[in-house]
A and B are shown apart, each in its own frame.
Chain A
Amino acid sequence: MVQATRRDSLRENLGLEFRRGALVLAVLSQLRQEQYGYSLKKALAERGLEIDEGTLYPLLRRLEAQGLLRSRWSLEDGRPRRYYRTSALGEAMQGDLAADWLSLARAMERLLR
């Protein structure tokens, strides 16, 4: 029982490690069109990538601070919403990271075959 719990916890930590980098690329790929936080979460979930909100929203702020995203406030149905989209740097970065990702995926596929 203890062994199984330890295995679960280790698996979660290792899984989180490789998911962390992938999330940045996933977010950049979806923000070529302007979206606000909640709509982005739904867009990612619809494509099979569930991400908890407590992780996604701070990530958007950090990417904006790094100059990869830009944002603006907009009032919709009486509610203020912050919309994000990739900056020029973010778009270039998304292209570079996507190439890295595909190359890594091909290599992993060969390794795991």
Chain B
Amino acid sequence: MEVIDRYVHEIGEHLPWNLRADVEAELRSLLQDSLEERARAAERPPDPLLAEAVIRDFGAPEEVAKRYLPQDQYLIGPRLFPAYQLAVKIAVIVVAAASGGLFIAAIVGSAVGNREGPDLLAVAHTIWRVAMGVFFNLALVTLVFAIIERVQARREATAPEWSPAMLPPVKDPDRTSQAGMVLQMYMILAFAVLFNFYPEWVGMAFVNGRVHLTSFLKPAFATYMPLVNTFWALDFALHLTVLSQGRWRRETRAAELALGLYGAVILYLVITGPPLFMFDFRVKAILKGVLALVLMGSASRLYFLLRRRA
């Protein structure tokens, strides 16, 4: 019966290839059984109308196929979903704010010195870049959460049995806020993308009513990028680990301290290096302040670690 073939084929289309042939063969045989039974009850030979009644009772192909698949398979499961929603909102807000600014900058920038009005091609080009930025951001956020989901699923499979002794105290300094961690990871990614792929945007500014896209960073800064990128990659991995573990542990606290010291070394090299920024002197004065804060932060982390060990 042609309608049964089409139905079985449609179910097969929603199944993984390794299940498809076997399930299709079984379904075809079972539907044929049902059809014959129905024909006997109706006291007439099987026909397309009876076949349609059989498959209508069976259900929509997508629904039937779904029941053949393993249950509870998620790209991003219910536990991480609220944090994922938050991350997507942050991504959309950040990109919307940046794109609004860029859009205005593109119109103003292309209108200046152009008597015939804004350069529509330049505006269209900016819109295209913004659209790609949105797509890239959302894809990145989804990818990160899918990785966390896999890591957590694997960790849970080997986790020891829960006991009340594992309950953390009410005031727990090691408890992490999922939203906070996600926001920090997003900031790391945003900085990494900005400095690596759009360094000219770092220096975008309005001066005397005109848009300047001259990079704030001098070419020599590129020699420091491998160090900075390594820092961001390690920081991102640390946040990912803490997020998947649900709280800070002694090892991750130690890694945070080591990473802080590595960041301080990079800052020191940047401060004592050749001119790297527009207004180099002023920027480096700010960076000296940042270095002092980083060192104080590392000292307090070290104290925290030693005190807990004692």
A81 CB contacts on chain B under 8 angstroms:
29
For window 32-48 of B, CB contacts with A under 8 Å fall at 32-34, 37
Determine if A3 is an interface residue (Cβ-Cβ < 8 Å): no
B63 CB contacts on chain A under 8 angstroms:
54
Overall SS of chain A's interface = helix
> How many inter-chain residue pairs (CB < 8 Å) link A and B?
44
Q: Is the CB of A58 within 8 A of B64?
A: yes
Q: Chain A: interface residue count, which band?
A: 10 to 19
Q: Is the CB of B32 within 8 A of A58?
A: no
B58 CB contacts on chain A under 8 angstroms:
52-54
Q: How far is the CB of B138 from chain A (nearest CB, A)?
A: 33
Given contacts A52-B57, A58-B68, contact A79 B27 (CB under 8 A): no
Q: Chain B: interface residue count, which band?
A: 10 to 19
For window 54-108 of B, CB contacts with A under 8 Å fall at 57-59, 63-64, 67-68, 70-71
Contacting residue for B34 out of A53, A55, A58, CB 8 A: A53
For window 58-88 of A, CB contacts with B under 8 Å fall at 58-59, 61-62, 65, 79-82
Determine if B26 is an interface residue (Cβ-Cβ < 8 Å): yes
Determine if B112 is an interface residue (Cβ-Cβ < 8 Å): no
20 A-B pairs whose Cβ atoms sit less than 8 Å apart in the complex: A37-B33, A52-B57, A53-B30, A53-B57, A54-B63, A54-B64, A55-B67, A57-B26, A58-B64, A58-B67, A58-B68, A61-B23, A62-B68, A62-B70, A62-B71, A65-B70, A80-B29, A82-B25, A82-B26, A82-B29
